[in-house]
């Protein structure tokens, strides 16, 4: 048996073959090119540029390197540069600028220093400066820049920490914007600035008090600002301001019925007048006009007896176009500003059906828009202002399906937009007026099925996935493409999905929570076949849900919480409908029970429970109502001890609890009240050490904790106070060295840690200070390799890591620096395949990843040759993996298919539990101890005349 020499990583199945989308956004014209944000598997969402050709459409800069996204937004052209908001992973969401080149694309200023987000929004030019909103953590304020870092400064404190901060508008040589009124943070009122700090002020508290005046729809006309607002008496009506308190007043109370609102919207300025939608109560929403005076503010035309709802008003060739609803449905209308000149241009979707014209954009002398037609669906249309030349540009999705064009943008005599042709997802398209085509398939991969971890049963691995048609359902794989299949479409409604979760194996069957239209979220059972996958019991009858959760097995029965009433109660099942019943009403789940602090140990299960008197405390059950009881009131009284993080080690069960005088610390129980005790007050006094991430290893528990002189570091405990100590201060001082939960493999534990010099990297410990060390600096220097997803398989540690060259990929370690290496660059280059939800199936690893051609899908990795049996004290030792395991262990046996091996299993105390002859299949033994309680067991077997053994841990 020898180590594998070549990685066998392959796509097992593209479960969701629907096309992925690059979702172009923030389309902006600059120097005769189109700049925009778009996403793909390699770069994430970044800044792109296009001249309208496939070759000329490319990423401008990968601001957030790798597959992560820089979240480009707020693109504005000013002084021959682009300004926008972006995140480079170092400085958070900040203000950036670009001259259109890669080298000239850079951060302008780190407004909220370090990795915090300044969040610049709503950029607008005014008096040789660019104004915008940003934050330094104390509310959103008004900022300005002249294009240099030194002169990018906050104007004044307006404390607009809540509400919708719309784009400022320039009128009368002043900048109008929303800011805080004189009352609460919810009180938004009208502010103005002349470009100086002293000249930035509240114009008027239109609606005194806490509610604000509901400002919106800012439009400049002449030397005044028009907007809608409420003074608390008249509802939301049309207002005007010249920038002074006296000159800020309501133009007209359009809806005079009580305190109802005229609610003007879709406001535009056309030929020196304001046109908009408003509601006078009597005729509904209609088209109105105003010259800025009360007398000159009137309804232009009553298009429909019950309101025509005019919207999307857009000026084109000395007229304005809009959508309105009449006897012909919501269609395309045109107006020259007079009642007689306001008329239906074309009934696009004939009869009473609606075409809903919208997204108007002028380009090269034509007006483009989106409309819906009974034959073509929602597609791109164009007009020159005549009925006969108002026509479809291109049917992007045929057969009445819709291309759904959005973000129409004119650039260099071309109209760009985003559309979906059902083959490539939402991508960038272009037209010159006669037809349209996709510019480039920026995101050529398929969508993701997003495998989520499940359980092993009968040589198959069960998991949940979304195939893009059925929603998230139960799937299974035997490790082959043909054997990777949907088990059952439980929620038989398009894209709904039953979302199976908490998959648990009991008595050779799968139990899980799933949703159906008839029963809601209830307990289901499956033998792995479609016919054998069924609702076990509708615990809360009808479409209401009992929402069973925290599934745990004991003595071949299932125990769980279910919500038949409030609070939830403890239930049990033997796998039959009749045998699925309430266990007891005397305890409810503790506050943290949703996080699965439910564990089986020593023929009992332990959990956080609340009897209504003692708060959340430590409970124990032998599976009977009489045997379900509070073990100990750790935090005496009604407060509760907030039990969490159970971990069994030999004859002890460790957990985390709070007792009041000692804070949140490490506790242990031997299953008795007297034997339930605080192990050690690691952070002395009422303060807490916040023990977390407990891991069992060689008869001890390892965990992360902090004390009064150190940050979170690696600790170890044998269950005694003197035997509980910090292993090593990895990051000296108050900084935290340990970053995540460790995993046990062979004679060492592996974990992610940061010593202050190498970033968060892979560390190893044998339990001693000297033996706790950096295993490998995967991403050289102070940058972290972002290690995660630890999994032990065939005596090797697998995980996800980023070396700075290949992105986050699948790595393996045999416990040595030399033997710690990338398995494969699944997504070639700097992009990340991000392997996750790793599990073992026979000789394979099953996990989700992406490769640039498919989204997150089911991949497998098969070592081509197996590792030799390691030795311990000169005696052969079994390679059992995963170890620890929830119940099925595998032992590699290359070249011995069909043979039977005699396997003996012993308890931790040495008692022989069973002896079985197990047949070798697929080059390995599968040893099932799911029916046994959590704990430590000794595995012994005869192989080629030698007795070999290994301690295994059942989780």
Task: Using alpha carbons only, give the angle 843, 848, 854 rounded to the nearest 5 degrees.
Answer: 120
Which pLDDT value is given to residue 919?
78
Convert 843-869 into a string of H (helix), E (strand) and C (coil). CEEEEEECCCCCCCEEEEECCCCCCCC
Tell me which DSSP letter residue 166 carries. Answer: P
As a whole number, mean pLDDT of residues 33-40 equals 96
CB 788, CB 772: distance < 8 Å = no
pLDDT of residue 870 exceeding 50? no
pLDDT of residue 866 exceeding 50? no
pLDDT digit string (tens) for 517-559? 999 999 999 999 999 999 999 999 998 999 999 999 999 999 9
**Which residue, among 592, 594, 598, has the nearest Cα to 572 in the 3D structure?**
598
Angstrom distance (rounded) from CA 139 to CA 136: 7
Angstrom distance (rounded) from CA 570 to CA 557: 13
H-type alpha helices, 387-526: none
Task: Using alpha carbons only, give the angle 167, 92, 734 rounded to the nearest 5 degrees.
Answer: 140
Task: Using alpha carbons only, give the angle 629, 631, 634 rounded to the nearest 5 degrees.
Answer: 130
As a whole number, mean pLDDT of residues 492-512 equals 93
Cβ atoms within 10 A of the Cβ of 708, count? 11
Structure tokens at 479: 């490790």
Which pLDDT value is given to residue 894?
62
For the chain, the structural domain boundaries read 19-157, 586-721, 888-954
As a whole number, mean pLDDT of residues 687-696 equals 95
pLDDT digit string (tens) for 600-640? 999 999 999 999 999 999 999 999 999 999 999 999 999 99
Cβ contacts of residue 736 below 8 Å, gap of 6+? 706, 711, 712, 713, 754
Angstrom distance (rounded) from CA 521 to CA 515: 4
CB 527, CB 508: distance < 8 Å = yes
As a whole number, mean pLDDT of residues 582-604 equals 83
pLDDT of residue 6 exceeding 50? no
* 808-813 vs 820-824, strand pairing mode: antiparallel
Cβ atoms within 10 A of the Cβ of 208, count? 15
CATH of domain 888-954: 2.60.40.10
Which pLDDT value is given to residue 166?
80
- Per the document, the length of the chain is 955
As a whole number, mean pLDDT of residues 28-55 equals 96
Indicate the range of 35-39, 186-190, 242-246 predicted with least confidence: 186-190
Counting Cβ atoms within 10 Å, is residue 87 exposed (0-12), middle (13-18) or buried (19+)? buried
pLDDT digit string (tens) for 693-735? 999 999 999 999 999 999 999 999 999 999 999 999 999 999 9
Question: Which residue(s) pair with 911 in the sheet?
Answer: none
As a whole number, mean pLDDT of residues 218-244 equals 96
pLDDT of residue 876 exceeding 70? no
Which pLDDT value is given to residue 18?
94
Which pLDDT value is given to residue 164?
57
pLDDT digit string (tens) for 902-940? 888 887 767 788 888 877 776 677 788 877 777 778 888
Whether the bond into 567 is cis, omega within 30 of 0: yes
Buried b (16+ CB within 10 A) or exposed e, 97-118: bbeeeeeebebbbbbbeeebbb
Which pLDDT value is given to residue 896?
62
Indicate the range of 155-169, 266-280, 307-321, 373-387 predicted with least confidence: 155-169
**Between 388 and 901, whose confidence is greater?**
388
Buried b (16+ CB within 10 A) or exposed e, 387-420: eeebeebbbbbeeebbbbbbbbbbbeebbbbbbb
Angstrom distance (rounded) from CA 430 to CA 417: 6
**Between 859 and 565, whose confidence is greater?**
859
Selected from 3.10.129.10, 3.40.640.10, 2.120.10.30, 3.30.1950.10, the CATH number assigned to the domain covering 19-157 reads 2.120.10.30
User: What's the whole-number average pLDDT of the chain?
Assistant: 91
pLDDT digit string (tens) for 733-775? 999 998 888 999 999 999 999 999 999 999 999 999 999 999 9
As a whole number, mean pLDDT of residues 24-38 equals 97
**Between 214 and 597, whose confidence is greater?**
214
Q: Please state which architecture CATH assigns to domain 586-721.
A: 7 Propeller (2.130)
- Identify the three-state secondary structure at position 266: strand
Which pLDDT value is given to residue 596?
53
As a whole number, mean pLDDT of residues 322-337 equals 97
Which pLDDT value is given to residue 886?
74
pLDDT of residue 653 exceeding 70? yes
CB 13, CB 481: distance < 8 Å = yes
693: alpha, beta or left? (left if phi > 0; alpha if psi -120 to 50): left
pLDDT of residue 61 exceeding 50? yes
Strands (E), 517-649: 520-526, 534-537, 549-554, 557-562, 569-573, 581-584, 588-589, 598-601, 604-610, 616-621, 629-632, 644-649
Whether the bond into 882 is cis, omega within 30 of 0: yes
Cβ contacts of residue 301 below 8 Å, gap of 6+? 286, 287, 335, 339, 342
pLDDT digit string (tens) for 250-306? 999 999 987 899 999 999 999 999 999 999 999 999 999 999 999 999 999 999 998
Percent of the chain at pLDDT above 70?
A: 94
The band of 951, judged by pLDDT with boundaries at 50, 70 and 90, is confident
Angstrom distance (rounded) from CA 340 to CA 850: 60
CB 145, CB 151: distance < 8 Å = yes
As a whole number, mean pLDDT of residues 410-424 equals 95
């Amino acid at each position: 048996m020898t180590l594998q020499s070549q990685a066998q990583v392959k796509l097992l199945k593209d479960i969701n073959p629907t096309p992925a989308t690059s979702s172009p956004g923030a389309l902006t014209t600059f120097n005769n090119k189109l700049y925009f944000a778009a996403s793909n598997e390699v770069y994430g969402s970044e800044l792109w540029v296009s001249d309208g050709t496939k070759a000329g459409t490319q990423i401008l800069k990968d601001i957030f390197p790798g597959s992560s996204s820089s979240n480009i937004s707020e693109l504005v052209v000013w002084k021959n540069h682009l300004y926008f908001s972006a995140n480079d992973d170092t400085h958070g969401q900040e203000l950036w600028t670009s001259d259109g080149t890669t080298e000239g694309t850079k951060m302008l200023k780190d407004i909220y220093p370090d990795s915090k987000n300044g969040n610049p929004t709503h950029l607008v030019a005014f008096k040789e400066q660019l104004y915008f909103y940003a934050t330094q953590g104390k509310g959103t304020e008004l900022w300005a820049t002249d294009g240099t870092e030194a002169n990018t400064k906050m104007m004044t404190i307006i404390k607009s920490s809540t509400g919708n901060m719309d784009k400022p508008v320039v009128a009368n040589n002043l900048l109008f914007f929303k800011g805080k009124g004189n009352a609460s943070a919810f009180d938004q009122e009208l502010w103005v600035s002349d470009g100086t700090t002293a000249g930035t002020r509240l114009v008027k508290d239109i609606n005194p008090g806490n509610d604000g005046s509901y400002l919106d729809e800012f439009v400049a006309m002449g030397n005044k600002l028009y907007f809608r607002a409420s003074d608390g008496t008249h509802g939301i009506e049309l207002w005007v301001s010249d920038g002074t308190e006296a000159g800020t007043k309501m133009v007209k109370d359009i809806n005079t019925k009580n305190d109802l609102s005229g609610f003007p919207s879709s406001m535009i300025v056309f030929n020196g007048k304001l046109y908009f939608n408003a509601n006078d109560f009597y005729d509904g929403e209609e088209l109105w006009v105003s010259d800025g005076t009360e007398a000159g503010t009137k309804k232009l035309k009553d298009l429909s007896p019950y309101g025509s709802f005019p919207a999307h008003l857009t000026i084109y060739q000395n007229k304005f176009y809009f959508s309105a609803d009449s006897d012909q449905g919501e269609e395309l209308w045109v107006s020259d500003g007079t009642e007689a000149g306001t008329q239906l241009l074309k009934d696009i979707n004939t009869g009473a059906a609606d075409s809903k014209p919208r997204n108007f954009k002028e380009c090269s002398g034509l007006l483009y828009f989106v409309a819906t037609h009974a034959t073509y669906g929602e597609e791109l249309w164009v007009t020159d202002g005549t009925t006969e030349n108002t026509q479809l540009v291109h049917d992007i999705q045929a057969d009445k399906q819709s291309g759904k064009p959005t973000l129409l943008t004119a650039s260099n005599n071309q109209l760009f937009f985003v559309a979906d042709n059902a083959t490539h997802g939402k991508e960038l398209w272009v037209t010159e007026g006669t037809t349209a085509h996709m510019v480039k398939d920026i995101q050529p991969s398929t969508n993701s099925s997003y495998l989520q971890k499940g359980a092993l049963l009968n040589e198959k691995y069960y998991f949940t996935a979304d195939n893009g048609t059925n929603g998230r359902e139960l799937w299974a794989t035997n490790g082959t493409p043909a054997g990777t299949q949907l088990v059952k479409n439980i929620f038989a409604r398009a894209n709904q999905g039953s979302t199976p979760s908490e998959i648990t194996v009991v008595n050779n069957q799968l139990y899980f929570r799933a949703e159906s239209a008839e029963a809601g979220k209830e307990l289901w059972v499956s033998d792995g076949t479609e016919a054998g996958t069924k609702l076990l019991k509708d615990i809360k009858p009808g479409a209401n849900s009992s929402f069973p959760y925290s599934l745990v097995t004991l003595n071949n029965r299932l125990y769980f919480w279910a919500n038949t009433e409030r609070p939830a109660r403890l239930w049990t099942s033997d796998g039959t409908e009749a045998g699925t019943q309430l266990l007891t009403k005397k305890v409810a789940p503790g506050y943290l029970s949703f996080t699965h602090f439910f564990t089986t140990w020593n023929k009992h299960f332990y959990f956080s429970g609340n009897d209504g008197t003692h708060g959340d405390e430590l409970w124990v059950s032998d599976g009977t109502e009489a045997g379900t009881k509070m073990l100990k009131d750790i935090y005496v009284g009604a407060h509760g001890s907030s039990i969490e993080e159970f971990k069994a080690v030999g004859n002890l069960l460790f957990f985390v609890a709070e007792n009041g005088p000692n804070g949140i610390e490490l506790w242990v129980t031997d299953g008795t009240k007297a034997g339930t005790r605080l192990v050690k007050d690691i952070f002395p006094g009422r303060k807490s050490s916040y023990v977390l991430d407990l891991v069992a290893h060689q008869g001890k528990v390892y965990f992360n904790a902090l004390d009064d002189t150190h940050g979170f570091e690696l600790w170890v405990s044998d269950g005694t106070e003197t035997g509980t100590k910090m292993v090593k201060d990895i990051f000296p001082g108050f900084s935290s060295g340990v970053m995540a939960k460790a995993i046990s493999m062979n004679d060492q534990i592996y974990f992610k840690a940061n010593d202050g010099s190498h970033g968060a990297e892979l560390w190893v410990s044998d339990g001693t200070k000297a033996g706790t060390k950096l295993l490998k600096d995967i991403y050289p220097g102070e940058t972290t390799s972002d290690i995660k997803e630890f999994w032990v398989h065939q005596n090797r540690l697998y995980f996800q890591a980023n070396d700075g060259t290949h992105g986050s990929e699948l790595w393996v370690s045999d416990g040595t620096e030399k033997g710690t290496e990338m398995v494969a660059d699944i997504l070639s280059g700097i992009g990340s395949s991000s392997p996750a939800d790793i599990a073992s199936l026979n000789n394979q690893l099953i996990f989700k990843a992406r490769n640039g051609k498919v989204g997150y899908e089911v991949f497998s990795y098969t070592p081509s040759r197996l590792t030799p049996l390691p030795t311990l004290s000169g005696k052969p030792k079994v390679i059992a993996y995963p170890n620890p395991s929830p119940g099925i262990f595998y032992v590699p046996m290359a070249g011995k298919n069909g043979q039977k091996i005699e396997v003996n299993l012993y308890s931790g105390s040495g008692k022989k539990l069973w002896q079985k002859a197990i047949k070798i299949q697929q080059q390995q033994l599968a040893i099932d101890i799911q029916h046994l309680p959590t704990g430590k067991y000794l595995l012994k077997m005869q192989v080629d005349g030698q007795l070999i053994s290994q301690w295994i841990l059942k989780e």
